[in-house]
């Protein structure tokens, strides 16, 4: 007698979770990673093109501020909506479409006839960018073997962070020669990546199984995990859901973890975007030359990339809760010390360490955690809402910093703000984080929801 669909599903998930990382895994991952890197690149075009945009359209400071903030507003909408769409219609097509959306509106921005049109295109581009983040990371979390999940999601976040210095480097070479519109022309390249995704990426096996498409899932696993066999399957049970729902995120079982996650995301967004927006200006006021302040900022933000790469190894060894809690708290304490010095060496060292622990270790771990916390039916919805709250921090913090600095307070207050929000985020992590280390995504759901787990359950290797 052939196995029941439920038994077949469990066997497929066991093979998927326990597989070696094959060449096919690598091709899929690199394709998604390239799209995620380009997402970070396009997001960080604002600072590169803004001087030229101001000159072309004769903008006031207020109008320039609108151009800077409208992208985040679009990203907030895209992140909140795309997750639910992906949970209902799959991962592959929404992921490819989100990338094509922000590429197409990059092309529109090249030919923007007015500032109003440019702002509109940038806002619509933001929807695609926010949506990509909400879909890409859950896709990675669902197809890679469990023991590789943390490192590969945090590495994807590192690739996204590399977009900041890359955009600055490309802009330095391109804008003086070709003008700011050339940067948006370069930002149309992702449309090719989206087309490759449509042609080559498989659908998420977990999504297919949730839809009852066992045969389709089997075909993908056979191609992806050759030679892994069909040994005794681990017991996996998915909470009965038919579509993504925000109600799951705020339901009784998840409410505590969701509130903590959203709070940490607001703080992480405030740290990342507030610091990148204001640090050059603050350093200049401390006596650092403008060109040096840009150089210092580049070094400091690059330290976050290093932290994101190392985070993947740490979270598999000591767990998400410790990395989140310690990363945020150490970053906050370093910010307080950072605000007491103006010596060049100390500014670079303390700033790099604060960013390494804050945006790097803690920030990337936060996205890994968000991509695995919720059940398959609501995973992209959960990641999307987490990303949306990060954008709330990105919208609020730059404005708050501007208000505080306008009051002619000491520069220490600037660093005090970042120190306080980081420490608060660390405390939230230590108090209300569910430890996901060493568990498959189904086992995480089982433990949070209280679904009975078979005594023979095979724990994922950490």
CB–CB of 233/438 below 8 Å?
Answer: no
Q: 145: which residues sit within 8 A by CB, 6+ positions away?
A: 16, 17, 18, 19, 20, 21, 25
* pLDDT tier for residue 287 given thresholds of 50, 70 and 90: low
Q: Which residue has the tokens 């060109």?
A: 291
Percent above pLDDT 70 for the chain? 86
Rounded Cα gap, residues 67 and 51, in angstroms: 11
Q: 93: which residues sit within 8 A by CB, 6+ positions away?
A: 198
User: Where are any strands of DSSP class E within 303-362?
Assistant: none
Global pTM reads: 0.79
Q: What would the two tokens of residue 114 be? A: 């007015």
Q: Does 8 score more than 80 pLDDT?
A: no
Lowest mean pLDDT among 24-38, 102-116, 214-228, 350-364: 214-228
- In the prediction, which pLDDT does 283 show? 67
Higher pLDDT, residue 237 or 266? 266
User: Please, what is the end-to-end C-alpha distance for the chain in angstroms?
Assistant: 35
292, exposed or middle or buried, with CB in 10 Å at 0-12, 13-18, 19+? middle
Q: Does 242 score more than 60 pLDDT?
A: no
Rounded Cα gap, residues 404 and 396, in angstroms: 12
* pLDDT tier for residue 203 given thresholds of 50, 70 and 90: very high
- In the prediction, which pLDDT does 288 show? 60
Rounded Cα gap, residues 101 and 127, in angstroms: 8
Mean pLDDT, the chain, rounded, equals: 83
* pLDDT tier for residue 254 given thresholds of 50, 70 and 90: very high
- In the prediction, which pLDDT does 226 show? 66
* pLDDT tier for residue 336 given thresholds of 50, 70 and 90: very high
Percent above pLDDT 90 for the chain? 33
The mean per-residue pLDDT over the stretch 214-239 comes to 64
Lowest mean pLDDT among 209-213, 310-314, 332-336, 396-400: 396-400
Q: What would the two tokens of residue 31 be? A: 């394709």
What is residue 356's DSSP assignment?
I
Q: Does 241 score more than 60 pLDDT?
A: no
Rounded Cα gap, residues 361 and 366, in angstroms: 9
- In the prediction, which pLDDT does 286 show? 63
Lowest mean pLDDT among 292-301, 322-331, 364-373: 292-301
CB–CB of 418/297 below 8 Å?
Answer: no
* pLDDT tier for residue 233 given thresholds of 50, 70 and 90: very low
Q: What would the two tokens of residue 444 be? A: 């995480």
What is residue 351's DSSP assignment?
H
Lowest mean pLDDT among 38-47, 183-192, 355-364: 38-47
Each residue's pLDDT tens digit, 169-181: 788 788 888 998 9
The mean per-residue pLDDT over the stretch 258-267 comes to 94
Higher pLDDT, residue 350 or 228? 350
* pLDDT tier for residue 227 given thresholds of 50, 70 and 90: low
The mean per-residue pLDDT over the stretch 41-47 comes to 83
């Amino acid at each position: 007698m052939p196995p029941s669909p439920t038994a077949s599903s469990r066997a497929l998930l066991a093979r998927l979770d326990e597989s070696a990382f094959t060449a096919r895994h690598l091709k899929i991952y690199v394709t998604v990673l390239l799209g995620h890197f380009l997402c970070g690149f396009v997001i960080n075009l604002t600072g590169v093109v803004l001087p030229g945009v101001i000159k072309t359209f004769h903008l006031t400071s207020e109008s320039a501020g609108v151009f800077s903030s409208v992208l985040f507003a679009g990203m907030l909408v895209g992140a909140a909506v795309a997750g639910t769409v992906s949970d209902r219609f799959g991962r592959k097509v929404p992921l490819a479409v989100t990338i094509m959306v922000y590429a197409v509106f990059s092309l529109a921005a090249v030919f923007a006839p007015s500032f109003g049109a440019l702002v509109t295109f940038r806002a619509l581009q933001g929807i695609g960018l926010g949506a990509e983040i909400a879909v890409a990371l859950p896709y990675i979390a669902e197809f890679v073997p469990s023991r590789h999940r943390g490192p590969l999601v945090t590495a994807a976040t590192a690739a996204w962070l590399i977009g900041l210095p890359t955009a600055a480097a490309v802009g330095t070479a391109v804008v003086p020669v070709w003008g700011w519109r050339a940067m948006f022309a370069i930002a149309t390249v992702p449309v090719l990546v989206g087309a490759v995704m449509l042609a080559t990426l498989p659908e998420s096996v977990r999504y297919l199984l949730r839809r009852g498409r066992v045969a389709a899932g089997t075909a993908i696993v056979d191609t992806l995990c050759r030679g892994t066999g069909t040994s005794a399957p681990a017991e996996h049970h998915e909470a009965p859901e038919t579509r993504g729902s925000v109600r799951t995120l705020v339901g009784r079982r998840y409410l505590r973890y969701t509130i903590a996650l959203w709070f940490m995301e607001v703080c992480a967004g405030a740290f990342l975007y507030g610091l990148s927006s204001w640090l050059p200006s603050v350093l200049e006021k401390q006596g650092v030359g403008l060109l040096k302040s840009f150089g210092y900022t580049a070094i400091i933000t690059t330290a976050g990339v290093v932290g994101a790469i190392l985070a993947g190894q740490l979270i598999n060894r000591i767990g998400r809760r410790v990395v989140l809690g310690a990363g945020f708290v150490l970053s906050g304490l370093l910010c307080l010390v950072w605000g007491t010095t103006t010596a060049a060496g100390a500014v670079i060292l303390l700033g790099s360490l604060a960013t390494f622990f804050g945006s790097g270790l803690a920030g990337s771990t936060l996205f890994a955690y968000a991509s695995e916390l919720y059940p398959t039916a609501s995973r992209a919805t959960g990641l999307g809402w987490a990303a949306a709250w990060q954008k709330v921090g990105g919208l609020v913090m730059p404005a708050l910093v501007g208000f505080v600095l306008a009051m002619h307070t000491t520069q220490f207050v600037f660093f005090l703000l970042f120190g306080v929000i980081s420490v608060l985020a660390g405390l939230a992590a230590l108090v209300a984080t569910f430890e996901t280390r060493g568990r498959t995504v189904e086992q995480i759901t089982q433990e949070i929801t209280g679904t009975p787990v078979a005594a023979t359950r095979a724990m994922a290797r950490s």
